[in-house]
């Protein structure tokens, strides 16, 4: 379908009247593009005051932390009519449209993210439509991947094909309101937008303005891809060998000024922990506002992991630089602290330029928080930072240590601004927050001006992922900086990230956060040398994780069913929060009967009403006959089974007086969807004699049907 744009003359005339009345420059598409590449602007509190909001597919059962089951419910998408993680459904001209965002008043969409629906297949046939200012015809309409992967209407890097996702940072302003719809079930999505105060005039996006702004759009793209410091200035250097436990400092020019570029280079990075043990400290006007390990400050995490962004660059030769504008009134001091035991050679360079301080000027801050170990179950919210006072939040870098292969990042961001009781930004997954998707498989390096994955599992820019395996064991570093999607706050900001792993284990968390604030703005993140030295130990990276790839191991004489897919090898698409998956070796439990490889997976702590969905890879492009093998036991419930959304067998009572294999459960002949079958298991009741409503699944056999 071709792209279509409409333009409202009435809206423009109304905008001109409002602008003349206010006597102020309006927000326009071009003013936003200019703001995007103006680093000075982020160091001042916004002249056009706004609050950042987000429309997403987060699970609507999440209402309050007082209800943990609902608060951590993780079906953050819509794939059938039972999921309603969107606004509503409308009929327009005989077609069905799913409303995913609706905002009344002046605003601007500043970020759009949507993932591949199938982790192995890019593309979609979903049409997205943007209705502005109440118009009945969409101002923008088209295939949502074609529009926002940087290869069509919106050029790279304003739109971007991230890892298994499409992301756009192109601004779409509107004066009166915005409604966004999709033509089919809206899988996962995030639409981030500015909500302007009532006194802000906004000129609505139009195709005429878009065409006229083409040279400016091209210039903005080139600036983002070729970042340079804001201005030339006086250069202050520090070159020292810093002994263990020692600190070296340099004073910057004592006048009204701003750091426009700052770089640090170490003598070597043979010990990757050096980027956590060496800490950057900065004081402005006699107040320390920066205390952060250099790996987290510059975005590379543990070790030397090159990448390039709009605000930061890590070079392969070890030079780490940032281009945050950091103003001060009278004085500034930069220090490097070596928390380790071994001397470290350090080269530091700071460029200081002119700055005119006014009431909107703010100080740059960076604080760090780390914790090891962090228990993954039960699920919890882990606080990045809590801020009090006035300021603007501008980014963060997360470094995770994950001891197992299975995916660690299902947790959603929850951001509370100015004392909100419910977060105005509620996300759909940690990888989505960092602008990619299918995190269990997307362990390759990627970079973009505003987000990157500098390292994951074993891979970085210098060691790219050669295959398509799923393994998230070890360190992963995710980073995101903000331009048009900065978050102003007048009194407070709290950013939590759910700890939501598929495995009960102990992880390590470390976050460097960046924000601007007034002199009296405070942070929950305090200098913590002890935790900075507590670098989480890496698991054994040379072998497969026994919990995932080989657990539970079968005995050498185990029975093997023909054409079987083991349940523990299936990907968990979704599950109810309380359900715990526990692989068991039934031979070791001395149970009598025949199971495939003598193993099954116990779905523990399940309750009536809980649902689990498992993805089974197809073995043939043609239809296949599916047979489920399960376990019956004294504490098992009654299950309802569906494949690819269709109920395929009568409800099955899995109760038995003692554990035994179930009979073969016929799931019927099915056609695969995207080369897979999704088996849905719903607990619908339990036998009066059963102690609980757990269940155990062994395997599914697949036989091609000619």
Q: Of residues 478 and 663, which shows the higher confidence score?
A: 478
The position carrying tokens 């250097």 is 237
DSSP string, 569-586: GSEEEEE-TT-EEEEEET
69 pLDDT above the threshold of 80: yes
Q: Which residue has the higher pLDDT, 547 or 469?
A: 469
| Average pLDDT value over all residues in the chain | 92
**Shortest CA distance to 39 belongs to which of 255, 298, 256, 311?**
311
Segment 29-67, tens digit of pLDDT? 999 999 999 999 999 999 999 999 999 999 999 999 999
Q: How far apart are the first and last CA of the chain?
A: 37
Q: Is the pLDDT of residue 553 over 50?
A: no
Assess whether pLDDT exceeds 80 at residue 89: yes
Give the residue with greater pLDDT, 28 vs 543: 28
Query: Residues 126-158, buried b or exposed e (16+ Cβ, 10 A)?
Result: bbbbbbbbebeebbbbbbbbbbbbbeebbeebb
Contact 46, 27 (CB under 8 A): no
Contact 611, 677 (CB under 8 A): no
Confidence of residue 622 (pLDDT cuts 50, 70, 90): confident
pLDDT at 544: 52
Residues 56 and 429: their CA atoms lie apart, in Å, by: 11
Rounded to whole angstroms, the Cα distance separating 651 from 468 reads: 37
Please tell me the least confidently modeled range out of 257-271, 328-342, 582-596, 658-672: 582-596
The stretch 311-325 carries a mean pLDDT of: 97
Q: 93 pLDDT band (50/70/90 cuts)?
A: confident
pLDDT of residue 585: 86
Decide: pTM greater than 0.85: no
319 Cα distance to chain centroid: 27
For the segment 98-115, the average pLDDT, to the nearest whole number, is: 98
Question: Residue 430: enclosing H or E segment and its boundaries?
Answer: helix 430-433
Q: What is the mean pLDDT of residues 679-692?
A: 94
Could you give the dihedral angle defined by the CA atoms of residues 209, 211, 212 and 218, in that order, rounded to the nearest 10 degrees?
120
Residue-level pLDDT at 82: 83
Is residue 405 a contact partner of residue 441, using CB atoms and an 8 Å limit? no
pLDDT at residue 328, rounded to an integer: 98
pLDDT at position 557 is 54
> What pLDDT, on a 0 to 100 scale, did the predictor assign at position 549?
34
d(CA 592, CA 589): 9
Q: Which of 126, 128, 109 is nearest to 191 (CA)?
A: 109
pLDDT on residue 7: 33
Token pair in block for residue 485: 């999607």
376-393 pLDDT, tens digit each: 999 999 999 999 999 999
At 80 the pLDDT is 84
Tokens 């600190």, residue located: 247
**Residue 231: DSSP 8-state:** S
Tokens of 371: 């914790």
pLDDT exceeds 80 at position 548: no
pLDDT digits (tens, 9 = 90+) for 394-439: 999 999 999 999 999 999 999 999 999 999 999 999 999 999 999 9
pLDDT tier at 6, thresholds 50, 70, 90: very low
pLDDT band at 706 (very low <50, low <70, confident <90, very high): low
> Which pLDDT belongs to residue 408?
96
């Amino acid at each position: 379908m071709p792209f279509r744009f409409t333009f409202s003359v009435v809206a423009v005339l109304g905008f001109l009247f409002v602008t003349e009345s206010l006597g102020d420059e309006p927000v326009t598409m071009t003013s936003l593009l200019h703001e995007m590449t103006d680093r000075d602007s982020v160091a001042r509190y916004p002249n056009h005051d706004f609050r950042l909001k987000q429309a997403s597919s987060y699970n609507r059962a999440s209402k309050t932390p007082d209800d943990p089951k609902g608060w951590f419910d993780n079906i953050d998408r819509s794939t059938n009519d039972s999921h309603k993680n969107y606004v509503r459904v409308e009929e327009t001209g005989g077609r069905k449209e799913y409303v995913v965002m609706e905002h009344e008043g002046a605003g601007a969409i500043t970020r759009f993210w949507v993932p591949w629906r199938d982790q192995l297949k890019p593309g979609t046939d979903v049409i997205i439509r943007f209705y502005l200012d109440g118009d009945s015809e969409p101002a923008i309409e088209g295939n949502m991947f074609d529009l926002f992967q940087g290869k069509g209407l919106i050029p790279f890097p304003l739109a971007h094909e991230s890892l298994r996702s499409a992301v756009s940072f192109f601004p779409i302003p509107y004066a009166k309101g915005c409604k966004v719809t999709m033509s089919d079930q809206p899988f996962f999505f995030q639409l981030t937008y500015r909500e302007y105060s009532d006194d802000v005039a906004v000129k609505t996006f139009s195709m005429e303005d878009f065409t006229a702004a083409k040279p400016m759009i091209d210039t903005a793209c080139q600036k983002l891809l070729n970042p340079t410091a804001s201005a030339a200035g006086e250069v202050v250097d520090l070159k020292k060998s810093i002994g263990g436990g020692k600190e070296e400092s340099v004073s910057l020019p004592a006048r009204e000024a701003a750091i426009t570029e700052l770089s640090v280079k170490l003598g070597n990075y043979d010990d990757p922990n050096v980027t956590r043990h060496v800490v950057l400290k900065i004081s402005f006007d006699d107040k320390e506002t920066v205390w952060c390990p250099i790996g987290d400050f510059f975005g590379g995490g543990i070790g030397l992991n090159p990448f390039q962004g709009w605000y930061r660059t890590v070079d392969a030769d070890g030079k780490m630089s940032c281009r945050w504008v950091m103003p001060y009134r009278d004085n500034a001091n930069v220090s490097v602290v070596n928390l380790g035991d071994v001397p470290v050679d350090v080269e530091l360079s700071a460029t200081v330029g002119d700055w005119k301080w006014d009431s909107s000027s703010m100080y740059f801050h960076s604080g760090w928080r780390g914790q090891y170990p962090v228990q993954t179950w039960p699920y919890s919210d882990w606080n990045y930072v809590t801020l009090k006072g006035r300021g603007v939040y501008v980014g963060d870098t997360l470094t995770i240590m994950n001891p197992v292969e299975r995916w660690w990042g299902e947790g959603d961001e929850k951001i509370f601004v100015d004392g909100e009781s419910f977060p105005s930004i509620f996300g759909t997954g940690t990888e989505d927050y960092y602008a990619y998707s299918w995190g269990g498989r997307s362990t390759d390096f990627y970079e973009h001006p505003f987000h990157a994955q500098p390292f994951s599992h074993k891979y970085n820019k210098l060691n790219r992922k050669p295959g398509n395996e799923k393994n998230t064991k070890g360190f992963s570093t995710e980073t995101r900086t903000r331009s048009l999607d900065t978050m102003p706050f007048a009194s407070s900001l709290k950013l939590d990230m759910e700890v939501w792993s598929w495995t009960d284990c102990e992880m390590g968390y470390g976050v460097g956060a960046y924000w601007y604030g007034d002199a009296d703005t405070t942070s929950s993140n305090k200098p913590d040398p002890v935790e900075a030295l507590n670098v989480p130990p890496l698991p054994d990276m040379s072998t497969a994780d026994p919990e995932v790839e080989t657990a539970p191991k079968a005995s050498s004489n185990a029975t093997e069913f023909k054409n079987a897919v083991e349940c523990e090898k299936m990907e968990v698409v979704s599950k109810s929060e309380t359900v715990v998956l526990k692989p068991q070796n039934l031979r070791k439990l001395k149970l009598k009967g025949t199971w495939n490889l003598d193993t099954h997976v116990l779905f523990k702590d399940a309750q009536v009403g809980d649902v689990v969905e498992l993805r089974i890879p197809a073995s043939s492009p043609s239809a296949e006959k599916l047979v489920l093998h399960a376990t019956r036991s004294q504490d098992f419930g009654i299950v309802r089974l569906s494949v690819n959304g269709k109920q395929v067998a009568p409800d099955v009572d899995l109760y038995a007086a003692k554990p035994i294999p179930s009979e073969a459960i016929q799931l019927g002949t099915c056609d695969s969807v995207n080369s897979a079958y999704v088996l849905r298991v719903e607990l619908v009741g339990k036998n009066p004699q059963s102690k609980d409503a757990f269940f155990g699944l062994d395997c599914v056999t697949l036989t091609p049907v000619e």
